[in-house]
Structure 1
Amino acid sequence: MNKIKIIVIAGPTASGKSELAMDLAEKFNGELVSADSLQVYQQLDIGTAKATSEELQQVPQYLIDLVPYTANFSVIDFVSAADDAIQKIVKKGRLPIIVGGTGFYVKALLGQQSFDYAESDSDEVARAMQRPLEELVDELKKTANSGILQRTDLNNKTRVVRALQITKHGQKKMESTRPAYDSLVLAIEWPRELLYERINTRVHRMVEKGLEDEARLLFDSGGLNLQAGRGIGYKEFYPYFAGQGSLKEVISAIQQDSRRYAKRQLTYWRHQIDGLQWIDWQNRQQIAETKVADFIKKE
């Protein structure tokens, strides 16, 4: 079976993934596939940093605005939709370029991640997400087998809750034959202090554009009870909406949570994605173009 060539532009939040992917798509006749766990939700444009309508006219992009913001969306849903999008792009004779910071999605798409998934209880998940991480980890250590413990990132609350759901309700496997991909995976490497500056600036810009309105929409619809409502950039507003704290404190919390998330992403990309190549931030476009050109030519 011939493998389908795909490019993946990965890395932490605010690292310039989308801009680089757009440039590569224009140069190499490509189209983009979002690998962002929040961009699939409708009406959440600012906090998820979706492409503008002008950018979408410039370069088509798939897997944005797929489901209502009240819906659940799993890694299985992502992989299925991404496989379909890639097939469509290839049939048009164009190059699929995957862009996004959700490492778990990318790992699964590349076939490096098990497709086991939990038969979850949504109410239990919502309640669990409001409990302290330390308490959830203690419960998991008492109830899960060694295999689940070894596979679970105990610093990631979402992963811990998922593992608890698997332990309690069992799991299923995705039973389907998927395409085989030949992938070039690139990530932009920034000095940590510059990346954090970009994150802080980006948060201010999102607030200026109306991030609070999107957070209010989620808060009024269930807040932490929604999968989308637990996203960074939204959940930090909820105490403020409940009369606790100031907008300045909200902005500071979003910046802090975003920086911590970026740090976790960096760790994940470095240790979980096979074959990832880091490229210097200063010469990222030139380096990426050279690597993509060589990759396309390779038999």
Structure 2
Amino acid sequence: MRISFSAAIKQAQPLVSFPPGILNMDPFMARPHSKDKVVVVVGATGTGKSRLSIDLATRFPAEIVNSDKMQVYKGLDIATNKVTDEERRGVPHHLLGVVDPNVEFTATDFCHHASLAVESIVRRDRLPIIAGGSNSYIKALVIDDIEFQSKYDCCFLWVDVSLPVLHSFVSERVNRMVEIGLVDEIRGIFDPNADHTRGIRRAIGVPEMDQFLREEPNVDDETKALMLKEAIEKIKSNTCKLACCQLENILRLQNQLEWSMHRLDATEAFLKGGNSDGNNIWEKSVAGPSILLVDQFLYEEGFGAFLTSQLRFLWRQRL
């Protein structure tokens, strides 16, 4: 995100007037152009990454780049838990539901398309926010891609929820997904000859429903209900396993690659649920601190920091 000098002056007007010549602008004017800024939101599935990224994008001039390897595909909006148009609150999203569901979209593909999206967002003087649970995509882009490293500074926000609380939430989320049409959605793409190792068919929910959908026409209602229940339990179990794997990957990236991540504990907000108390706690413990971190990340090296140093110099001269 580029912050123009004129915009910075408008944002931070001096509160005192300086005698001619005492405020030396040369050091600031001579500063080399710094890297553009990118915010990266990570976390296990179900922790609220999309919610936080949208919260940030409604407070900063920002756009979101999806980094979830299943949400890049068209279709299965319920199974992949894509944010709805209403939940997006008008925030532009990139790489969300745009890839042919039958192709293999690799980490290399993600790096190429995400880099183009970030470049486009920065060119329009907006802040790119990369958000998603696929840590292999994040690593490939911000660690392995030397060109990306040379262009951008990243601020990492890690939304964390204690595993017992997250597992309970994930279980309830699967129940809600079933209520709004998960089974019919997966039934709509069912193909007994399909390859579940490619494209969107790798998404949790599709392999787990395979046996039920194969046997559905041939069994009685009682057996059908039992098989469906077993499939749903598998979906819950595998989603919890995914959350554990994602958490391990985040910790590995943090420890081995020395990422500077800001951990934001959303556990208490999840315990309170989606009521007003839960929303207030989310604002206090997750959204609010994130806004402050991003604000500091964006402006700590700009005109505000320079002006602060000049004010300190002037104060020392008057002592």
Structure 1-normalised TM-score? Answer: 0.74
Q: Is the 8 A contact 2:80 2:203 kept in 1?
A: no
Relative to structure 1, the CA distance from residue 11 to residue 225 in structure 2 (aligned partners, 3 Å threshold; closer, same or farther) is closer
Alignment partner of 2:297 out of 286, 295, 298: 295
Equivalent position of 1:40 in the other structure = 72
- Which SS does the other structure have where 1:238 is aligned? helix
The correspondence of residues 18-167 of structure 1 with structure 2, limited to 5 A, is 18-56=50-88, 58-110=90-142, 112-113=143-144
State the match for 1:261 in structure 2: 242
Pairwise CA distance, 1:65: 2.0
Q: Which portions of structure 1, spanning 4 or more consecutive aligned residues, are displaced by more than 6 angstroms?
A: none
- Per-residue deviation at 1:201? 1.1
Matched-pair contact (CA < 8 Å) for 2:41–2:157:
yes
Distance 1:214 1:41 in 2: 14
The answer on 1:202 being equivalent to 2:234 is no
- Quick check: 1:250 aligned with 2:250? no
Q: 2:261 aligns with which of 276, 283, 288?
A: 276
Check conservation: 1:215, 1:235, Cα contact below 8 A.
Answer: no
Q: What letter corresponds to residue 288 of structure 2 in structure 1? A: Q
1:88 Cα deviation from its structure 2 partner: 1.2
Residue 210 of structure 1: how far off its partner (Å): 1.6
Q: Counterpart of 2:215 in structure 1: which amino acid? A: G
Determine helix, strand or coil for the equivalent of 1:37.
coil
The Cα shift of 1:15 comes to 0.2
Structure showing greater radius of gyration is 2
Alignment partner, residue 236 of structure 1: 208
- Separation (CA, whole Å) in 1 of partners of 2:295 and 2:45: 26
Q: Distance in 1 between matches of 2:64 and 2:243?
A: 22
Deviation, 1:227, is: 2.7
Shift of 1:298: 2.2
CA distance in 1, matches of 2:54, 2:120: 18
1:272 Cα offset (Å):
1.6
Q: Which amino acid aligns with 1:234?
A: V
Separation in structure 1 between the aligned mates of residue 38 and residue 197 of structure 2, nearest angstrom: 35
Q: Which runs of 5+ in 1 are unaligned?
A: 116-175
Residue 17 of structure 1 aligns with which residue? Answer: 49
Distance 1:2 1:57, change over 3 A: same
Shift of 1:177: 4.4
Which residue of structure 2 aligns with residue 189 of structure 1? 160
- Using the TM superposition, give the Cα deviation of residue 56 of structure 1 relative to its aligned residue in structure 2, in angstroms: 4.2
Which residue of structure 2 aligns with residue 130 of structure 1?
Answer: none
Partner of 2:37, secondary structure, is strand
Residues 104 and 267 of structure 1: CA distance in aligned 2, closer, same or farther (over 3 Å): same
Please give the alpha-carbon distance, in whole angstroms, between the structure 1 residues aligned to 2:45 and 2:106.
20
Structure-2 change in CA distance of 1:68 and 1:45 (3 Å): same
